[in-house]
Structure formats: C-alpha cells, structure tokens
Amino acid sequence: MSLRKNIIGVVAVSFIIIGGATSWACGVVTAPAAVAVNTAPPVITGSLVVGNTLSVTNGTWTNNPTSFTYQWFWDDTGAAIAGATSSTYAVKSTDIGHSIHATVTAINAGGSSIPCPGLCPP
C-alpha cells in the first residue's frame, strides 16, 4: 500500500492505491470554528428579597452559540452557589447579607466562551 498527500492552496487531495484500485477524497480546508464572543452583556432582573426569583438573560454573542450555561455567585465571597446553574435563581434565607451575580457562558462548535458576568439591577 502506498499513500500520497498533496496540498494545493486550500484544497487537500489524498489518494490511496490498494491492489491497483484508487480511492480519492478532496475538500476545502477550513479554519476551526471560533468560540462565541460577548457583544452585549447579560442582564440580571429581579429583587434581592428572600422568596423572589432572579433571572439572567443570555446577552448578545457572536459566532452563533448553540447553548448557554449559567452559574450564580455570592459577590462578597466569590463562591459559586451550589446547584445554582440555571437562568433563574430563587433567593433563599441563606443569601441574606450577600450580594448575588450570575455568569453566562456561550457554547458553540468552537467550544465554550469566557464566562460573562451579568449586569445587576440598580
């Protein structure tokens, strides 16, 4: 078996000769997909009152994100709130005395973006 590869510009051409038969494959070489980049930050809405629900938007991203992940944090300690990984968060009594924020991560064919912090309500 012999194997030869030729690259001409952006077109890759490969062929394999096996027992007198030739198999060809060719196509355009493309760049890997780029990760999403945030162009408008996520926004957090809701009141920081026990029993209320906070929500975070996805924000606006380039490079066609296909999904998003979320994480809510206590600002004063920087600690991730265990299990708080959806776009909404129900404020609990354990949150008293803490300020809260969320990050949104966009995911696409290029991988995961840098987490983007949501803008807190005034």
Residue given tokens 């996805």 in the structure block:
58
**Is residue 2 domain-shared with residue 19, that is, in the same domain?**
yes
Is there a domain that residue 86 lies in?
yes
Q: Do 56 and 108 have their domain in common?
A: yes
User: In this structure, are 104 and 53 located in the same domain?
Assistant: yes
Mean pLDDT of 54-71: 96
| 100 and 84 both lie in a single domain | yes
User: What would the two tokens of residue 39 be?
Assistant: 């162009």
The CA angle 113-95-44, to the nearest 5 degrees, is: 40
What range does the domain containing 72 cover?
A: 38-117
Same domain? 15 vs 53: no
- Same structural domain, 49 and 88: yes
- Nearest in space to 73 (alpha carbons), one of 59, 61, 60, 85: 85
Same domain, 103 and 52: yes
pTM of the model: 0.73
**Same-domain check for residues 60 and 108:** yes
Is 4 inside any structural domain? yes
Predicted pLDDT of residue 11: 36
Total domains present in the chain? 2
Determine which of 2-6, 77-81, 105-109, 116-120 has the lowest per-residue pLDDT on average. 2-6
Question: 50 with 94, same domain?
Answer: yes
Domain annotation covers residue 20: yes
In the DSSP assignment, the letter for residue 49 is S
Q: Would 122 be classed as within a structural domain?
A: no
Residue 82 in domain: yes
Mean local confidence (pLDDT), 62-71: 96
Q: Does position 106 have pLDDT exceeding 60, yes or no?
A: yes
